Chains A and B, each alone.
Chain A
Amino acid sequence: MTEITADHSAGAGTTGRSLLNVGERTRKRNAAEKRFRMMGLAAVAIGIFALVGLMASILSNGLSSFNQTYIALDVYLDPAKLDKNGNRAPEDLQKITTFTIQPLIKTAVQDMLDKRGFAAEGVNPNEAAALISGEAPAELRRFILANPDQIGETISFDLLASGRIDGYFKGRVTMESAALDRNISPEQLVLADRLKEAGILDLRFNWAFFTAPDASDTRPEAAGLGVAILGSAYMMMIVLALSLPIGVAASIYLEEFAPQNRWTDLIEVNIANLAAVPSIVFGILGLALFINFVGLPQSAPIVGALVLTLMTLPTIIIATRAALKAVPPSIRDAALGIGASKMQAIFHHVLPLAAPGILTGAIIGLAQALGETAPLLLIGMVAFVREYPAAPPEGFFDPAAALPVQVYNWTQRGDPAFIERASGAIIVLLIFLLVMNAIAILLRRRFERRW
């Protein structure tokens, strides 16, 4: 009672203050309130702006990698050069080198220019042939080996244009930069423009980007993600096959059977810590244990997958335990009540009900594993791999690349065209992640039950 009167007298002292008549101090407080609120809104805006900026940067750099410049060329497969013995024997054809084929392309380019009447000024025959990618002779060689009967015919090919020409049509190379560039001259670009007008050169969807293997430093136009996608797919297969059963089994034990004691506590603290160990430490583990100690091959998907499995396990265990916990005890009690054993109650009733949550967790864990780069660098997956790994299970032990590592690999190369490729590869990676997360969300929406 005394307090109220005291308050009242204090209030009476500050005259002229009411809800309608705002005092100086109130105004200050309201302004502070507004400022604080604005700061909050600004923070949210910065967060969203960062996301938009990140996406815009990747998309603007990478989308062009889905298009590629091709040049249509009729090449005469000269039997006098390709098959001197004239017997089309496979052993002899094997000895054809790309050096033998290069002149054929040069002649074909000259023929094409003469026929169309493009007497290009300032472009000598060698420079004209340089419009075509250095990968083209290898492509022709593969064609000849596969179709020896076509020797002596004139075949029309769609050959890759060289990286600089491709960059010119994508805005990466300009007349000014070409004037300073040893590898390309403005005259060649003029010629390329003419070819484009004539419809000989065109940009089209770049399927090879998804199927072709990596290419050497000087041929960014031929570099593709085939080996990397395959390597990542192999790893994800093994990671799923190992981490899901082990993770679910461990969660069931910890959630349903483990007694409350120090040992269980130790395991739980351990799992929480493993989830926060830097990924590169797992890479060191993989290098020391799987490669150095056990002697598994470097760059192999199996080693990467084992490392990623160990990294994914905590994620899956945490998600599975949450899903098991969400199944109400009444389900277990009912099963036990009609005579099921504990194991039967769990495997026949609790686990199926928790399955959507477990699968969601597994997919999110896999998505994390798919994007992981650092540990794979240490186990040698940065190596330059051009051969596709064999079919599983032998292919698990063959050298392969992985999507995120391929991105890193390309950023380390000199030619700026590889930045485009790297951004394109990121887009592919993000699409995979988007699909996986969408599946996880759908699963959750469709099957999640609220008890």
Chain B
Amino acid sequence: MTPGTIAIIVLILAAIGYVLGRRRALQAAKREGVKLHSLPGYYGESVALFTAVPALFLMAAWLFLQPIVIESSISAKIPDSVVPEGGAKSLVMVDVRRISDGLGLILAQGDVSESELVDMRADLTNVRSRLAEVGVALGSDVAPAVFEAAKSYREFDSIASSVRNVAVIVVALAFAFWAWSRITPKMRARNITETFIKALLMGSSLVAILTTVGIVASLLFESLQFFQLYPASEFYFSTVWNPQFRGGSDFGFLPLLWGTLYVSFVALLVAVPIGLMIAIYLAEYSGRALRSFAKPAIEVLAGIPTIVYGLFALITVGPFLRDWIAQPLGLGTSSASVMTAGLVMGIMLIPFISSLSDDIINAVPQAMRDGSYGLGATQSETIKQVILPAALPGIVGAFLLAASRAIGETMIVVMGAGAAARLDLNPFEAMTTVTVKIVSQLTGDTEFASPETLVAFALGLTLFVFTLGLNVLALYIVRKYREQYE
């Protein structure tokens, strides 16, 4: 039975528990001639909650842990002799898993019985061709030890799954019975139910924390592995980025950092003045009609997925810049360039800057404007000399948030900036960024033991720390500023 079926069974049990719990409470009250403490529904609810929640949690935890436990116990059984020279045990485990999946498929076809499968031996049967028939292609012939491991993997897995199913149902029934049998008219069913629900609500709010912990843990864990294979000082201070899939790669972070900062710089150069002027114009000058049209139109830009901007860079902006600016001026021949990615990313950031600045400008008290006008300043003088200085911390905050966005942006640079890691000043050359390299090192067949893959986690960690720092700083500045006027 699949986990889905079990979950449905548990939910049905919970529904039955509700009905039975409610009935027991009503009957008990009638028999004893007392009033119930809570509404009858709460008695049912308390049974239903105790039936479903612990059982479903058990199942989720089991589903999460089962592959890990089996993996480690089977992996311990594989002798080192079958691990190929220079390879990793995790690769052998991939084969083990695939073979065991294939065995399941062979069994499902029905021409081989369970007992025949147990007797099947890799050195007697041609397992590889047998597996190929059911669609599991293997790179090489199967070593007997690996095949035995696969068989015990499958056996272990199926036993564990049945135990899991039984355990989940038993837990559901046990809790249901306990919750049902303790029902008396005096029981404070509402308080119990509400405490239970409150605990669930609190648990949900922990998901945010767990996500952060997950991000940090996965980045740190894999990065540490990378830094064991490749010295950190060389990573952060070398200027050569040249990954080779045969080993002996150079992973210099500096060209990527340079590309990232250059593209972000161009983007902010486009977005900050335009976005800020839009915010000023819409907040201070424009009439109702223009505002009610222009504000949503600009905000539409914010709702467009970045892949659309990426395609725009690839098919329109890139060729345009190359044919009309870069080639006539002899600056470059590539349509992917820092300028392409920067311009398009700038467009993407315009609504971000403008809507944040709009809020901040509107938050400047009217009294300050009135004071300035009263002294005879023109509107633009008021804006430049009173409103902007007053709004400056907020605008700096918006700027920092936009910078963090620009640094972390992926699709526009993947499609617009190119893949060549280079340290160059010419903005019409293709350069590459941290995010582009994370994508290129992690897409395709990934093997987790090699530094070529692990370097992406080190890049990710650096990116995360960088953007986190910018965000925290920006939020701190924005918060501090808001307190001044409230």
Contacts and interface: CB of A to CB of B under 8 A. Distances in A.
Nearest to B65: A294
Contacts of A289: 214, 218
B276 to A, nearest CB: 8
Given A39-B277, A278-B408, A267 B205 contact: yes
A190 interface: no
Interface string B443-484: 100101000000011001001100110011001000000000
Nearest to A375: B410
A236 interface: no
A33 B383 CA distance: 10
A373 B381 contact: no
Given A281-B463, A419-B315, A274 B212 contact: yes
A273 B347 contact: no
Contact of A54 (B197, B214, B312, B378): B312
Scoring A287, A294, A317, A380 by chain B CB atoms within 10 A of each residue's CB, the highest score goes to A287
B202 A433 contact: no
B194 interface: yes
Contacts of B197: 343
Interface in A11-56: 29-30, 32-33, 36-37, 39-44, 46-48, 50-51, 53-54
Contacts of A279: 408, 410
A44 B316 contact: no
Given A47-B294, A373-B305, A285 B205 contact: no
Interface in A232-269: 245-247, 249-250, 252-254, 257-258, 266-267, 269
A132 interface: no
Contact of A278 (B281, B310, B381, B407): B407
Contacts, number: 267
Contact of B378 (A30, A252, A270, A278): A30
A233 to B, nearest CB: 16
A33 B377 CA distance: 10
Given A40-B281, A408-B307, A408-B415, A277 B297 contact: no
Contacts of B467: 276-278, 281
B198 A288 contact: no
Contact of A288 (B202, B218, B410, B415): B218
A253 B442 contact: no
A324 interface: no
Contacts of B215: 277, 281-282, 284-285
B298 A249 contact: no
A129 interface: no
A40 B308 contact: no
Interface stretch (B29-37, B106-114, B282-290): B282-290
17 contacts: A33-B379, A33-B380, A57-B312, A253-B202, A254-B205, A266-B209, A273-B468, A278-B410, A313-B207, A313-B211, A367-B303, A371-B304, A373-B310, A374-B435, A394-B2, A423-B311, A433-B304
A50 B202 contact: no
Interface in A318-340: none
B438 interface: yes
A355 interface: no
Given A51-B298, A272-B475, A407-B311, A40 B277 contact: yes
B208 interface: yes
Contact of B198 (A253, A276, A277, A295): A253
B273 A43 contact: yes
B308 A430 contact: yes
A137 B290 CA distance: 57
A60 to B, nearest CB: 9
A284 B208 contact: no
A385 B311 CA distance: 22
Contact of A50 (B64, B310, B347): B347
Contact of B208 (A270, A373, A374): A270
B218 A284 contact: yes
A174 interface: no
Given A253-B205, A257-B201, A281 B460 contact: yes
Scoring B273, B314, B460 by chain A CB atoms within 10 A of each residue's CB, the highest score goes to B460
A51 B300 contact: yes
A288 B443 CA distance: 13
Interface string A142-163: 0000000000000000000000
A377 B97 CA distance: 24
